[in-house]
Chain A
Amino acid sequence: MSTTDSVGWAGTRIAPRPFVDKLHEWVTTVDHKRIGILYVAYGLTFLMVGGIEATVMRLQLIRPHNDLVTPQVFNQMFTMHGTTMIFFVVMPIVFGFANYLVPLMIGARDMAFPRLNAFSFWLTAFSGLFLYFSFVGGYGLYGAGTAPNVGWFAYAPLTAKTFSPGHSTDFWTLSLLVSGFGSIGTAINIIATILCLRCPGMTLAKMPLLVWLNLVMAGLVILAVSPLTAAQLMLLVDRYLGGHFFDTQAGGSAVIWMHFFWVFGHPEVYVLVLPAFAFASEIIPVFSRKAIFGYPVMVAATVAIGFISMSVWAHHMFSVGMSSGGNLFFVLSTMAIAVPTGIKIFNWLATMWGGKIYFKAPMLFCVAFLFQFLVAGLTGIIQSAAPFDWQLTASYFVVAHFHYVIVGAILFAVFAAFYYWFPKVTGRIYGETLAKVHFWLFLIGFHLTFDFMHVPGLLGMPRRIYTYEPGRGWDTWNVIVTIGVFFQAAGVLAFVVNMIRSYFRGRPAGSDPWDAWTLEWSTTSPPPEYNYASIPVVKSRRPLWDLKHPEDPDWKYE
Chain B
Amino acid sequence: MFSLIAAEAAIFVIFVVAYLFYVGKSISGPTPSVLHVPVFLTVCLLCSSWTIHRAVAALRRGETGSFARWWTSTIVLGAVFLGGTAREWQHLIADEGLTIRTNLFGTTYYSLVGLHAFHVTAGVIALATVSLFTLFGHVKREHAARVDLVSLYWHFVDVVWIAVFMVVYVVGR
Taking beta carbons and an 8 Å cutoff, which residues of A are in contact with B?
A: 184, 187-188, 191-192, 218, 222-223, 225-227, 229-231, 233-234, 237-238, 241-245, 250-253, 256, 260, 263
Contact = CB atoms under 8 A, between A and B. Distances in A.
Interface stretch (B8-16, B36-44, B62-70): B8-16
Given A227-B14, A237-B111, A260-B14, A184 B104 contact: no
A241 B100 contact: yes
Nearest to B13: A227
Q: Interface size bucket, B side? A: 20 to 34
Nearest to B9: A226
Contacts of A242: 100-101
B6 A251 contact: no
Given A226-B7, A230-B11, A243 B22 contact: no
B107 A244 contact: yes
Contacts of B51: none
Contact of A187 (B3, B25, B103, B111): B3
B7 A251 contact: no
B104 A244 contact: yes
B18 A256 contact: yes
A223 B21 contact: no
A226 B4 CA distance: 10
Given A227-B14, A230-B15, A234-B18, A252 B6 contact: no
B26 A231 contact: no
Given A191-B3, A244-B107, A230 B21 contact: no
A244 B103 contact: yes
Interface string B114-139: 01000000000000000000000000
Contact of A250 (B8, B15, B103, B111): B103
Contacts of B14: 226-227, 230-231, 260, 263
Given A226-B7, A229-B11, A245 B18 contact: yes
Contact of B111 (A184, A188, A234): A234
Contact of A245 (B12, B26, B108): B108
A251 B25 contact: yes
Given A243-B111, A245-B108, A188 B10 contact: no
A439 B26 CA distance: 57
Nearest to B12: A230
A229 B27 CA distance: 27
A256 B21 contact: yes
Contacts of A227: 10-11, 13-14
Residue of A244, A245, A263 with highest tally of chain B CB at under 10 A = A244
Contacts of B25: 251
A48 to B, nearest CB: 32
Residue of B9, B18, B21 with highest tally of chain A CB at under 10 A = B18
A267 to B, nearest CB: 11
A252 B111 contact: no
Given A241-B101, A243-B111, A251 B22 contact: yes
A306 to B, nearest CB: 13
A5 B10 CA distance: 44
Nearest to A183: B7
Contacts of B26: 250-251
A49 B166 CA distance: 48
A226 B11 contact: yes
Nearest to A255: B21
Residue of B4, B7, B27, B101 with highest tally of chain A CB at under 10 A = B7
Contacts of B111: 233-234, 237, 243, 245
Contact of A222 (B7, B12, B13, B22): B7
21 contacts: A188-B7, A218-B3, A223-B6, A223-B10, A226-B7, A230-B12, A234-B111, A241-B100, A241-B101, A243-B101, A243-B111, A244-B104, A244-B107, A245-B18, A245-B107, A245-B108, A250-B103, A250-B104, A251-B25, A253-B21, A263-B14
Contact of A188 (B3, B9, B18): B3
A251 B31 CA distance: 14
Nearest to A252: B104
Interface in B90-112: 100-101, 103-104, 107-108, 111
B107 A243 contact: yes
B23 to A, nearest CB: 11
Given A227-B13, A251-B25, A263-B14, 10 more contacts: A184-B4, A222-B3, A223-B6, A227-B14, A230-B11, A237-B100, A241-B101, A242-B101, A244-B107, A251-B26
A187 B8 CA distance: 13
A241 B106 CA distance: 11
Which 10 A-B residue pairings sit nearest by Cβ, starting from the closest?
A: A242-B101, A226-B10, A230-B14, A243-B107, A188-B3, A230-B11, A226-B7, A222-B7, A226-B11, A227-B14
Contacts of A250: 26-27, 103-104
Contacts of A244: 101, 103-104, 107
